[in-house]
Amino acid sequence: MMQFLVAAPCSGSGKTTLTCALLAALKRRGADPCAFKSGPDYIDPMFHRAVLGVESRNLDLFFSAPDTVRALYAQGAAGHGAAVCEGAMGFYDGLGGVTDTASAWHLADTLGLPVLLVVPAKGASLTLAAQINGLKTFRTPSRIVGVLLNDCTSALYKMLKPMLERETGLPVLGHLPRLPEASIESRHLGLKTAGEIAGLQQKIALLADALVLDWVQFQALTDRPAPQAQPAARASARTRIAVAQDEAFCFAYAETLEALTAAGAELVPFSPLHDAALPPELGGLYLPGGYPELYAGPLSENRSMRASVRQAVEHGLPTVAECGGFLYLGQTLEDADGTVWPMAGVLPGSGFPVGRLVRFGYAKLTARADSLLFRAGEAFPAHEFHHWDSTANGTALTAAKANGRSWACGFAKEHLYAGFPHLYWAGTPLPRRFVEAAVLDHQKEQTP
């Protein structure tokens, strides 16, 4: 089974572009690939899904213990002929930016994956060899088995390939030329989501067409025994949990949703943008993150949905709202043009743009008291990335970064968790606790 991780010296090197090209090419060759993303990123897996038509999963060694990561990888790879993992940031960039913990290298080493190093070819030649050698020797083992040149013409590839192989001892396996017609637009959190890219399938096809690769050598370097997956445990559905899924709410980890299903939830997707009200007969409500600030007007104008959500939460429906979902539950949300729109009105805060990332990165959340998801004194890993803030962020939990910075955040009650931090639920007691609360709430509703 072909298995490998795609890494790069830094962000902006073309990892996602090359990963999509590789996935599409592998699919064309009948390899039936699956995909993973190193780190907490929601957006890159959307592109993997767009290429493959199957789920892409996040693997994160800050969120999860090594055994959990190995199990998630094995379960996701089961039944496929190739497993492709896209790294995050620079190859060794980990927790706090000053350690290799939770880096792409840490993940490759934990899973025993060979690494293909994506190197932009523009603007350097022999210096590329020095850069590659530095990455190759910085940690032992580096796991790097080959190099792919990005933004590289055929003529430049012919010149660089023999020199780089001589200087680094690594095979240069192929290249991808610059394709302006296949470019993918960005915004403040990175790439735009896959659903926003016009002609995405045509762009992916162009990338696969243009990819030049020594497939024989590539397969020889990446072939590994398939990981052995344990049968996934799954409980019968005991309650219905509504999950917001539309253009405004699109940041939900696949593993979180799968963990909720395994715990006994029937997940019922709905759209706060387009539906008139919440689905019927619910035991719980999950409002994940996304881009509500881009859709503040339409969300506000859907008054019947706002009223439905407000009534459900105020009546004690077990509810989890992360980041964008948290902003939706607030009083108002200011869009990028400065217009202030009424939101669901459950929480006291009002959302407003800051113009920069706020409290960005990994943190540990510690609960101050028992609540829907947490028990007093428990700590869970979380991640924040948002350019909007709120006038009332809550005080139910304490968030702390590795550098010692800490702050109060979140609303946590018997039937509610709402806050900016995104949680990663797989391998934790959170799915079971949410489902059990939803079951109890639904039973109460059914009792005459």
Residues forming beta bridges with residue 367, ordered by sequence position: 397
Q: Which residues contact 250 (CB under 8 A, 6 or more apart)?
A: 42, 46, 193, 195, 288, 290, 291
**C-beta separation of 256 from 424 below 8 A:** yes
**C-beta separation of 66 from 87 below 8 A:** no
Q: Which residues contact 170 (CB under 8 A, 6 or more apart)?
A: 117, 132, 136, 144, 145, 146, 147, 164
Which residues of 177-318 form beta strands (DSSP E)? Answer: 186-187, 190-191, 212-213, 239-244, 265-270, 284-287
**C-beta separation of 113 from 146 below 8 A:** no
Residues forming beta bridges with residue 126, ordered by sequence position: none
Return the ∠ at Cα 354 (arms to 195 and 254), rounded to 5°: 35
Choose the catalytic residue: 85, 250, 323, 409.
323
**323 annotated active-site:** yes
Report the alpha-carbon distance of residue 373 to residue 442 in Å, rounded.
17
Q: Which residues contact 163 (CB under 8 A, 6 or more apart)?
A: 125, 126, 129
Residues designated catalytic: 323
